Structures are given as C-alpha cells and as structure tokens.
C-alpha cells in the first residue's frame, strides 16, 4: 500500500507563499519513491502579495488556497478538510508563506500565532504518532506548535536557532541535502533553500527526506 502524504502549501511564490521549487520537488520525490499525495492549503488570505519581479508589495491581496491551486494544478483541498486518519505523513515545503501565512513569525517573531487549521492538522498527526515533515524555514512553524522536538534549518544565524530554542525545540546543524530525524517524535526536516544554492540541491534534500520517511515506515 502506498504511503499517503498530505502536502500543505501557503500560496504560490517564495516571497509571499510556498517556494515553488520546494513544493514541486516534494511532490516529485513522493511520486518517484512510490508514495501518493494530496495537496492542502488554508482557505484564507495571505499576509500580503509580492511582485516577484520587483520585490514590491502589490494589490490586491490573494487567497492561499486559490494561489496554491496554481502549483497543485487545481487538485487541492482546504486544510479545514484535512483528516489525520487518512494520511501517513504531513509535509510542509518552505517559502516565506510558512512564516507569513501559516504563522506570523516573520512579523511577530517569538510572539507569533499559528493559523488554526495548521495547528489542528499538526497536533492531530502528532497525537496519533504519525510522521510530520518540513523543509526550509517551515521547521520554525513546527517548533512553535509542538515545542519539544528536534529540527534543522541547515546552518542558520544564531538568532533563528535562539528562537527555535525559545519555543522549546532543539536545533541540529545539517548540510544542505541532509535530513534531521527526530525518531522519538517522528519529525523529519531538511534545509532546502535555507542552505541550497540551486534547484538540484533542493531536489536532493527533498528526495532524501522522503526516502528517510519511507525507510522509517
């Protein structure tokens, strides 16, 4: 039986949503290694919209579910419909949307709040002792929700490591394509574009992430 992944997106584009290379690499890695996936996103507005050519904020604002549907080719469901009983793995690619839309760490720092549907999905998987995975900056989100876990952002600045520790989590320094496995809590993380210099390194990390998950299962 195929391992079922739920992949959570936060929009379409690195600066205001999901990092597209990471999102596609996660889908490709799951499919390539014999798993299956369903894409989800919260059905709420993004923090803001960014012109990815100029870097300037633009109007109007956008909806996470509608924007994420671009990456999912329309095959996407609202995160409010997520049922932890139907999936083996919950996976968060990175992009600034993880800390702007799924939570507001990007603006509020240590005082950040988490989108209720995201918190519910993560906690429901954790309570069932199922696997939760994250790439790039998304481990910050998991640290905020769960606290006492071990994650990696690669080799980030000391401020980010301090914030992860403030949330009650631990940070492990890893190379770009490495996977941090917290086997006690079933948390799997990889640096992706927190460390990657190109798309090949991103795919190598995402592929290793999925392989480690499947090996564990």
Residue 217 has pLDDT above 80, yes or no: no
| Residue 40, phi then psi, degrees to nearest 5 | -130, 160
d(CA 87, CA 79): 13
Domain limits for position 166:
4-216
Residue 122 has pLDDT above 90, yes or no: yes
Catalytic residue among 12, 86, 103, 136: 136
Question: Distances in Å between the alpha carbon of 119 and those of 32, 69, 126, 146, 202?
Answer: 29, 21, 10, 9, 26
DSSP string of 88-134? Answer: SEEEE--STHHHHTSB-HHHHGGG--B-HHHHHHHHHHHHTT-EEEE
| Residue 133, phi then psi, degrees to nearest 5 | -130, 155
Q: What is the pLDDT of residue 1?
A: 86
Q: What is the CATH number of the domain that holds 11?
A: 3.40.50.880
> pLDDT digits over 1-50, tens only?
899 999 999 999 999 999 999 999 999 999 999 999 999 999 999 999 99
Q: Which is nearest to 142 in space by CA: 156, 157, 131? A: 131
Q: What is the pLDDT of residue 157?
A: 87
Q: Please tell me the total count of domains within the chain.
A: 1
In terms of residues, how long is the chain? Answer: 217
**In contact, 136 and 102? CB cutoff 8 Å:** no
Residue 156 has pLDDT above 90, yes or no: no
Query: Which residues, at least 6 apart from 122, have a Cβ–Cβ distance to it below 8 Å?
Result: 90, 132, 141, 142, 145, 146
Mean pLDDT of 78-89: 98
Task: Say which DSSP state 70 is in.
Answer: H
Mean pLDDT of 130-138: 98
Active site residue 136: yes
Q: What is the pLDDT of residue 5?
A: 98
pTM: predicted TM-score of the whole model, two decimal places? 0.97
How would residue 216 be classed by pLDDT, with cut points 50, 70 and 90?
confident
d(CA 125, CA 10): 19
Task: Say which DSSP state 3 is in.
Answer: P
Average pLDDT, the chain: 97
């Amino acid at each position: 039986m195929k391992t079922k992944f739920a992949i959570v997106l936060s929009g379409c584009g690195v600066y205001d949503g999901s990092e597209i290379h990471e999102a596609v690499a996660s889908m490709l890695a799951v499919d390539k290694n014999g798993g299956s996936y369903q894409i989800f996103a919260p059905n709420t507005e993004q923090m803001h919209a960014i012109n990815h050519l100029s870097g300037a904020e633009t109007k109007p604002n956008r909806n996470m579910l509608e924007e994420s549907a671009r990456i999912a080719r329309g095959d996407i469901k609202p995160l409010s419909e997520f049922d932890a009983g139907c999936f083996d793995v919950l996976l968060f690619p990175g992009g600034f949307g993880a800390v702007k839309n799924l939570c507001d760490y990007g603006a509020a720092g240590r005082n950040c709040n988490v989108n209720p549907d995201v918190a519910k999905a993560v906690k429901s998987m954790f309570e069932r002792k199922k696997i939760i995975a994250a790439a790039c900056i998304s481990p910050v989100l998991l640290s905020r929700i769960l606290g006492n876990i071990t994650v990696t952002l690669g080799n980030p600045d000391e401020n980010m490591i301090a914030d992860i520790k403030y949330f009650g989590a631990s940070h492990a320094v890893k190379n770009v394509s490495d996977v941090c496995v917290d086997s006690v809590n079933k948390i799997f993380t990889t640096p992706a574009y927190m460390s990657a210099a190109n798309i090949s390194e991103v795919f190598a990390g995402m592929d290793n992430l999925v392989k480690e998950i499947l090996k564990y299962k």
